[in-house]
Amino acid sequence: MASPAVCTPVRNSHKSAFNLRTAGGRMPLTPSPRTPTRQLSDVPGAQQESIHGTNNFMSRLAGRSVSKTSVRDSPKSNIARSNNSPRRLELGVSDWALTGTGNTTSTKQTPLKSRKDGVIRPRVGKSRITYNAADRFIPNRTASDAICNVGGKLDLENRPKSSKGEGSAILATAASAFDLGGRGSEDDVTLSLEGLCLDDEDDGEIYTKPSPNAVAYQSSLASACGVSLNTRILAFKPAPPESSKPIDLRSQYNRPLKPAGGISAQFRRRVPSAPERVLDAPGLVDDYYLNLLDWSSGNQVAIGLERSVYIWSAESGNVSSLLEVPTDTYVSSVKWSGDGAYVGVGLGTGEVQIWDVEEGTKLRSMFGHETRVGVMGWNKHILSTGARSGLVYNHDVRIAQHKVAELVSHTGEVCGLEWRADGAQLATGANDNLVSIWDARSLQAPKFTKTNHRAAVKALAWCPWQSNLLATGGGSHDRHIHFWNSTTGARTNSIDTGSQVTSLRWSTGYKEIVSSSGFPDNSLSIWSYPTLVKNVEIPAHESRVLHSCLSPDGQMLATAAADESLKFWKLFEKKAGAGGASRESSATVKASVVKQMTIR
Amino acid sequence: RTSSASFSPTHKHRNKSRTAIMSQPKVSSKKESSKVHKLALKGSSKVVSEFFEYSINTILFQRGVYPAEDFTAVKKYGLTMMVTADDQVKAYIKKIMSQLKDWMYGGKISKLVIVITSKETGEHVERWQFDVQLFGKPSKAKSSKKTANKENTGPDAGEPVPEKTEQEIQAEIQSIFRQITASVTFLPMLDGNCTFNVLVYADADSDVPLEWGDSDAKEIKNGEKVQLRSFSTSNHRVDTLVSYR
């Protein structure tokens, strides 16, 4: 489409600079071959028409001038043809704005006329005329206003101003905008053109850049909100490592002033992992259900080895054979009486013998059980015996009719039996996976029967510092240690040890409990209570640890294992104190004496 | 317990910095005779990032994000500081710190935020914010807004830096850590099942490694805010703010 524009020079030099830019490099310097005078004189009329009927105007323009304007000649030829002096031409370039628009622009320069008139320069000045839509006539304000010329940004800045006050004025001036001949004021033209331009932009343009005002507003808003536009909030994306366990801050706040970690590291007691002494225990029956080891209050260790019971004196280290049972049976359990004077011996036949160790004589035999007696327990003059049949008898060893009670609850072999220190309660465990807790005053039925274990329960231990706390350990299919409140029957804690629990012993000096393990560990484990933290694990024996017992001072643990050895472990060495130190020193003195003697 | 209901850090800081500036001549004149060790920008950044490292450790310990057994005691700032001994947590913090140091040296950081989040609900329960102000680098908000007032604030860019001894700086840092430790008395009990995140307010033109990504501010809704102490070096000023539910 041929959309001609009329471009008349403007004298204003700074404006012309912009115009040059917007002219897209086209600078038709050629005066129309037609008489410029006529052309110019036509313009006002045409433009006036255009206000009322743009199409008409366009077509007229096109009809008149297009053919010429499309021709572009070299400046040289222009010069030659137009007979303009070089000076004049120069004026045209630099002083006069020659604005062409886009591809559809044709321009008419009328230097002659303007020169001739001299004063007419304000004319159409900067009327760069564009057609936005096919039928619309859009003067570009960039030609008229230097400030607005820079870019769309600034245009927008000016928008509020013009739209605010001059809405109607724009229309009015727009009407007169092209009345160029009649109205000489350059300013008026500028204003009106600007108004037009703004109007059209309103309709057609999409703003891509925010105005400076908007930016300022955003930044002030941002700063008021404490956020900076120039700041990014960055997060370290990898998830932090999981905490190893939930933390109770209360316990942390109550921790001692010195850091807990330091304390535990610095003051964690050392448990020797080597045995103090190892004794051979040839012929020790590898039978989980028997109880063949016991340490008396008189510091003597009794061990049942096949058909014999040996007494090892921890004071002197002497070993003596206490008894030997007939070849048709074997020793299935040994148990010291509370005073350490007598030892009860259970036999495979179900017979129970009482021996006076000092004298080395048998005091009496008690019959009643049909099956082997795997476990026994003393409560003063009462000896409780548990048998393979699942029956537990209480024997009063002072009287002829010794059987004073029959405790019926288990259906499997009874292998664990412990009296509470005060004799008020009795705990029994058996191969039926049950733990029974009996009240000494009513033995018709157990006070509680616990079914939590999934294997035979041999390991039973009453807590020395909390009388109603009972620990029980299950066999190889169970591997758990359960802790019970024997008053309420509630299970208070549990440990999965990972291996068969063959015995449990509470420390008397520490808040700890030691468990001995069968397959696969064959170890001793010391657990803190109630934290249930495993303080130490000692690989104790080559095969499963069958029995254990504590020395009367509570420091030493003796273990007998299926590897036919008896080992003594100083697990609960008394805390550094006067007593312990003196004993240590005396021991070392003794050792040095021995050594000297050996040397001699 | 001082809690500010409204929160506009930029204003606060501007005021603070101004008062600090005004008080500086006094300080510096007083200190002229004493041995003054002025920290270079790099040294100052190191002090600040070190402070951040201990802050993270202290907060993780004090707020029970990790169990107390996982921490060991070290002497720092004249205090016994708890730092994690857990290899994983150590590595995690180390990764954060190495990047943080880069940014600090570049002067890219305006805030460091440690957000403690409940694992169960995913709610942000506590937010420790350390505002970093770099002296001699007029903040953009200031320059854009306060051009009119700039003349009145004096040679802001020139910044007559407070010349503090290392001991003074250490004493300031020490009192912040004492405050952080003491803050457990008014902060609500955490249930011990929490995790944490580290946020950084960095300049838009900062280099961002892959491990860091844009995030929201993880603000605590309707949270209480308590402004703790501040410390400043020759080049930085660090303000501490804790907000909690």
Strand partners, B230: B239
Nearest by CB to A243, which of B67, B95, B204? B67
pLDDT exceeds cutoff 70 at A314: yes
| pLDDT value of residue A393 | 94
Residue A270 DSSP SS3: coil
A520 cis-preceded (ω within 30 degrees of 0): yes
| pLDDT value of residue A1 | 46
Nearest by CB to A244, which of B8, B67, B96? B67
Strand partners, A481: A473, A495
Closest residue in A to B100 (Cα) is: A236
- The number of beta carbons lying within 10 Å of the beta carbon of residue B41 is 18
Distances (CA, A) of B222 to A392, B5, B130, B216, B233: 67, 9, 19, 16, 33
Residues of A in contact with B209 (CB under 8 A): none
Taking only the tens place, the pLDDT of each residue in B50-80 is: 999 999 999 998 888 888 888 888 999 988 9
DSSP B188: P
| pLDDT value of residue A40 | 44
CB burial readout B198-231, b (16+ within 10 A) else e: bbbbbbeebebeeebeebebbebeebbbbbbbbb
Residues of A in contact with B205 (CB under 8 A): 230
Helices (H), strands (E): how many in chain A? Answer: 14, 31
Tell me how far apart the alpha carbons of residues A57 and A50 are, in angstroms, rounded to a whole number: 5
Which of A215, A217, A228, A531 best probes binding to B when mutated, by most B CB atoms within 10 angstroms?
A228
Nearest by CB to A245, which of B67, B110, B211? B67
Task: Kindly state the percentage of chain A with pLDDT values over 70.
Answer: 54
Contact B89 A241 (CB under 8 A): yes
- Tokens linked to A232: 């990014």
Tell me how far apart the alpha carbons of residues B241 and A78 are, in angstroms, rounded to a whole number: 77
Specify the fold of B35-137+164-244: Cell Cycle, Spindle Assembly Checkpoint Protein; Chain A (3.30.900)
Type of residue numbered B178: R
Q: Answer for the pair A502, A519: CB distance below 8 angstroms, yes or no.
A: no
Residue B156 DSSP SS3: coil
DSSP secondary structure string, A150-215? Answer: S-HHHHHHHHHHHHHH-HHHHHHHHHHHT-TTT---HHHHHHHHHHHHHHHHHHH----S--HHHH
Ramachandran region, residue A25 (left: φ > 0; alpha: ψ -120 to 50; beta: rest): left
Domain ranges of chain B: 35-137+164-244
Taking alpha carbons only, the member of B107, B153, B190 closest to residue A252 is B190
Q: What are phi and psi of A207, to 5 degrees?
A: -90, 125
Q: Which of the residue ranges A60-64, A351-355, A502-506, B210-214 would you say has the lowest mean pLDDT?
A: A60-64
Closest residue in A to B214 (Cα) is: A234
Mean pLDDT across the stretch A61-82? 45
Q: Answer for the pair A161, A225: CB distance below 8 angstroms, yes or no.
A: no
Nearest by CB to A244, which of B70, B139, B206? B70
Complex ipTM value: 0.71
Contact A262 B73 (CB under 8 A): yes
Taking only the tens place, the pLDDT of each residue in B148-158 is: 444 544 444 44
Mean pLDDT across the stretch A191-211? 47
Strand partners, A545: A561
- The number of beta carbons lying within 10 Å of the beta carbon of residue B157 is 12
Taking only the tens place, the pLDDT of each residue in B157-190 is: 444 555 778 888 899 999 999 999 888 888 888 8
pLDDT exceeds cutoff 70 at A290: yes
| pLDDT value of residue B40 | 74
Type of residue numbered A444: Q
Taking only the tens place, the pLDDT of each residue in A397-455 is: 999 999 999 999 999 999 999 999 999 999 999 999 999 999 999 999 999 999 999 99
Distances (CA, A) of B216 to A233, A320, B222: 7, 81, 16
- Tokens linked to B186: 């008014």
Nearest by CB to A230, which of B191, B198, B204? B204
Closest residue in A to B216 (Cα) is: A233
Q: What's the pTM? A: 0.43
Distances (CA, A) of A479 to A454, A457, A471, A499: 8, 10, 13, 5
Taking only the tens place, the pLDDT of each residue in A452-474 is: 999 999 999 999 999 999 999 99
CA distance A554 to chain B (A): 30
CA distance B45 to chain A (A): 19
Closest residue in A to B182 (Cα) is: A253
Q: Which residues, other chains included, contact B113 with Cβ-Cβ below 8 Å and sequence gap of 6+?
A: B127, B128, B129, B130, B198, B199, B200, B201, B217, B218
Tell me how many residue pairs between chain A and chain B have CB atoms under 8 A apart: 145
Tell me how far apart the alpha carbons of residues B71 and B49 are, in angstroms, rounded to a whole number: 20
Closest residue in B to A266 (Cα) is: B72
pLDDT exceeds cutoff 70 at A168: no
Mean pLDDT across the stretch A286-296? 93
- The number of beta carbons lying within 10 Å of the beta carbon of residue A263 is 12
Taking alpha carbons only, the member of A318, A302, A312 closest to residue A354 is A302
Distances (CA, A) of B238 to A11, A122, B205, B229: 61, 64, 22, 9
